[in-house]
Amino acid sequence: MGWSYRELAAIIKIDGKRNKKFRRSGHAYEAKNNEGRRMFVGYSSTGASTTNMAIQEALEAGLQDKNLGCQHIIVLTGSKKKIPHWIEQALLTDLQFLRQQERTFCFIAVPKPILNDVVDIASLATKMPIHHCRVQPTIL
């Protein structure tokens, strides 16, 4: 990666869950700083089954306020998809814009047990239509 633990600004965990009974997908994300304090959390439900929109929402939520100072970010996801979906083009455009602002992102596919807390939130989001994002006021 080329940067140390102290330079790390945030670790974002993203994952989703599909509920066949309700024909709905839930996606959740959570960001913590290098001290382990939660910076922001968000979740939403949709009829689509892709976590790409959750990734985009997480990146947008983390960058709404430049006071967070996120320069180096690790994104942990359970998605191991090799072939990009057409929806990812908007995400790639956002990432290109962020790279121009000298921000570094590292996407890592990790096992589900690491993402358990995010998967639990995503499974709750599959039960009803919902969209929520909250930035911790103590971070601002």
| Joined tokens for residue 110 | 């990790």
Angle of CA points 71, 1, 136, to nearest 5°: 35
Please classify residue 100 by burial: count the beta carbons closer than 10 Å to its beta carbon, then call 0-12 exposed, 13-18 middle and 19+ buried. exposed
The sign of the dihedral angle between the CA atoms of 13, 14, 17, 22 is positive
Angle, to 10 degrees, between the axis of helix 52-62 and the axis of helix 88-100? Answer: 30
What digits encode the pLDDT tens for the residues 16-64?
788 888 778 888 888 888 788 888 788 877 765 556 666 666 666 656 5
Residue at token pair 């180096």? 72
b/e string for 44-53 if b means 16 or more Cβ within 10 A? bbbeeebbbb
pLDDT of 6 above 60: no
Residue at token pair 């921000």? 103
Q: What's the confidence (pLDDT) of residue 77?
A: 77
In the chain, % of residues over pLDDT 90: 0
Q: What's the confidence (pLDDT) of residue 42?
A: 80
Residue 75 near residue 55, CB atoms below 8 Å: yes
Domains and CATH numbers, the chain: 5-135 (3.30.420.10)
- Which amino acid type is present at position 109? A
